[in-house]
Every structure is written in structure tokens, then in C-alpha cells.
Structure 1
Amino acid sequence: MKKAVLAFALVAVVGTPSFAQSVGEKTGINSTLGIAPKTEDFIKEAAMSDMTEIEAAKIAQQKGNAEEKKFAEMMLADHTKTSTELKSMVPASLKAALPTALDDASQKKIAKLRDAKPENFASEYDSIQVSAHKDAVSLFERYANGGEDPKLKDWAGKTLPALKHHLEMAQALDKNRK
């Protein structure tokens, strides 16, 4: 099955690069193949990641344990900063790529956190943070290595160490809980 998916992805990428990258970002194929996202996809995914992190951090500040509240405070500050930086660098022709609200997948994650019982909150929050930061590190690495827009490519590279640090912290939260 994996070979069939990869074969399809390679045919799609070679056949119609701009279409394949958009589809690839939505399906995760780009990440699997290490392909840089299109600039529009990078902007959308990075902004959505920031928005989701900010909302999750607000919930964690209310429902989390002491470690999670401290982590959430950092997430709120760092992702508000990167969100502002990203918005200031988006080329005028791609302003429409900036999402104005959470997508369905992000809304479901936030709803899961809001609805989590106190005894289950740490489990939900910690695992969401690990997964979200793995995805963010992949997105930013791929764009920093092969993105189209020089300013955004440079910014992705400069932002990457902080995202890797967030991932390490999220993994430590998750490990400490177990």
C-alpha cells in the first residue's frame, strides 16, 4: 500500500507540480517525501498552526497542571509573536492565504481540549502538543530548505530552533505524565 501511495505521489509531483504540492500538503505526502510546500500552503499551514496553538494554550492555562500552564504561557507568547511576524511578511498577492478562522481539524482538537475531563486533560493536551510540533517542525524544515519566497524561507529557518525546542518541551511534558 505504501508503495502504491508513494508511486502515485511521485507521478502526481512529476506530472503537475503545483497541483501535487497543494494536494500533497493536505494529504501529508509532501512531508513523507520531504517536499517543500508551495508558499501559499506554507502560509496557510503556519498561520493555522499558530492559531491552534494560541487557542490550545488559552485552554491549558485554565485546565492544565502547573507544568502545562507554564508551557502554555510560552506557547501563547511565542505563537502570538510568530503569527504577527508571518502576517507582516506575507506578500500582498498571497494575503488571501491567511486563514481567518480555525479549520475543521483544528476546531475538533480545540473542542476535544475544551470538553476533556480534568483527569484526561493532560493526556489530551500533551499528545496534541507533541503531534502539532512534529508537524510544525516538518513544515518549517521543508520550507526553509526549499521554499519559494526568500523572506519567508529565511524566517522559517530562523523560527525552526524555537519550534524544535517547543517539541522537546512537549515531549518532556508527555513523558513526565506517563
Structure 2
Amino acid sequence: MKRLVLGSLTAALLVVGVSTMTAAQTPSVPERAGVNSTLGIAPSTQDFVTQAAISDMAEIESSKLAATKTDGKTKAFAEKMIKDHTETSIELKGLVTGGKVKATLPTEMDAAHKSKIDKLKGLSGASFAKEYDEMQVAAHKDAVSLFERYSKSGENAELKAFAAKTLPHLQMHLKMAEDVKK
């Protein structure tokens, strides 16, 4: 009984704490996704679109860097990420601009993702490859969680179908990223 009350109190404090944050204090997209993923809560349609679009932008930009700064498995992986995430970006944009999904697409990455890209720009050689590989694993874990949650419980049928169709590709990307990291 004490655990149930304590768990409920903790959850309530978490919700109150997050909902009372100012815009400057609001966690970045991946941090919010992490909170929701532990609770199994599907993001709103707007949050899904924002998180998916920013994730695609970051994947494409970081992978363009990797394609020029690495070779072998990492370069091949980066080239696949550019191709695949460009395709999903185009498909997501089509759903939004075609009116099937009522949401606004972000026009640029958030500060957290920009910072990661800037960090990569300053690295080279083995340190670049190591950072890129680690970022890819983390990013794809977040993406798999996001797409799983929306495909199961999202509020827009067209977007749910998109998430369900894209999820196996993201799961494959995660496995590939983990293999490259080894």
C-alpha cells in the first residue's frame, strides 16, 4: 500500500513539475520522449510530427557529416541513413501538407539536436566515428520508442499507419547502429 501511494505521489509530482516549467525550462524533445516512453504514453499528433521531423533532420545532417568524415561500415551506414530518413521526411511532409495530418512541421532542429551536430562538426577521425556511432544508437532507441507508442495509441489514423509502416525500418536501423558501434 505504501508503495502504491508513494508511486502515485511521485507520478503526480512529476506531472506537476513538468507542467509548471517555463519554456526555457521545458526538457528537449528526447527528454520528453524518454518520460513518455517509460509511461508508455503516445505523444500528441503535433508532438509526434515535431519529434519525428526533428529526428529526421538530425539523422540527415549528422549522417552527411559522417559520409564525408568516415569510411567503411560507418560511411555505408551514414549513406543509408541519409537515403532512408530523406524518404521518411518526404512522406511525413506529404501527410501534413496534404491535409491528412493536422500539425505544423518544424523548419529547423531544436537546440539540443543543433548542439549535437555542432559537436560532431568539431570532431574527426576515431573520435568522430565513436561519437556518431553512439549518437545513432541513442537516436534510434528514441525513434523506435516514439514510433511504437504512436503506432499503438496515436490519435490520427493516417499517422498511426505511417508510424507502424516505418517502425520496422527504425528497428533495423537500431540494430545496424548497434552493429556498427561494436
TM, length-normalised to structure 1: 0.84
The offset of 1:64, in angstroms, is 1.5
Instruction: After superposition, give the CA deviation of every residue in 1:16-59 in whole Å (9 maximum; x if it has no partner).
Output: xxxxxx98965332111010000000000000000000001100
Q: Given residue 63 of structure 2, which amino acid in structure 1 is its aligned partner?
A: A
Asked if the contact 1:9/1:24 (under 8 Å) is kept, the reply is no
Distance 1:23 1:68, change over 3 A: closer
Asked if the contact 1:9/1:29 (under 8 Å) is kept, the reply is no
Asked if the contact 2:101/2:156 (under 8 Å) is kept, the reply is no
Counterpart for residue 74 of structure 1: 80
The one of 141, 144, 158 equivalent to 2:148 is 141
Runs (5+) with no aligned partner, structure 2: 1-5, 20-25
Q: Does 1:87 align with 2:87?
A: no
Asked if the contact 1:34/1:142 (under 8 Å) is kept, the reply is yes
Counterpart for residue 124 of structure 2: 117
Q: How does 1:60-71 map to 2 (within 5 A)?
A: 60-71=66-77
Q: How does 1:20-35 map to 2 (within 5 A)?
A: 27=32, 28-35=34-41
Q: Given residue 57 of structure 2, which amino acid in structure 1 is its aligned partner?
A: M
Q: Distance in 2 between matches of 1:92 and 1:161?
A: 22
Counterpart for residue 51 of structure 2: 45
The one of 6, 11, 29 equivalent to 2:11 is 6
The offset of 1:112, in angstroms, is 1.1
Counterpart for residue 22 of structure 2: none
Distance 1:122 1:138, change over 3 A: same
Q: Distance in 2 between matches of 1:82 and 1:167?
A: 16
The offset of 1:122, in angstroms, is 1.3
Q: CA RMSD in A?
A: 2.6
Distance 1:55 1:24, change over 3 A: closer
Q: Does 1:108 align with 2:115?
A: yes
Instruction: After superposition, give the CA deviation of every residue in 1:103-162 in whole Å (9 maximum; x if it has no partner).
Output: 101101111111113230111000000000000000000000000000000110010000
Asked if the contact 2:60/2:82 (under 8 Å) is kept, the reply is yes
Counterpart for residue 166 of structure 1: 173
Distance 1:131 1:93, change over 3 A: closer
TM, length-normalised to structure 2: 0.82
Q: Given residue 102 of structure 2, which amino acid in structure 1 is its aligned partner?
A: L
Higher RCO (CA < 8 A, seq sep 6+) = 2
- Identity among equivalent positions (%) equals 50
Asked if the contact 1:55/1:110 (under 8 Å) is kept, the reply is yes
Asked if the contact 2:70/2:129 (under 8 Å) is kept, the reply is yes
More helix by share: 1
Distance 1:10 1:29, change over 3 A: same
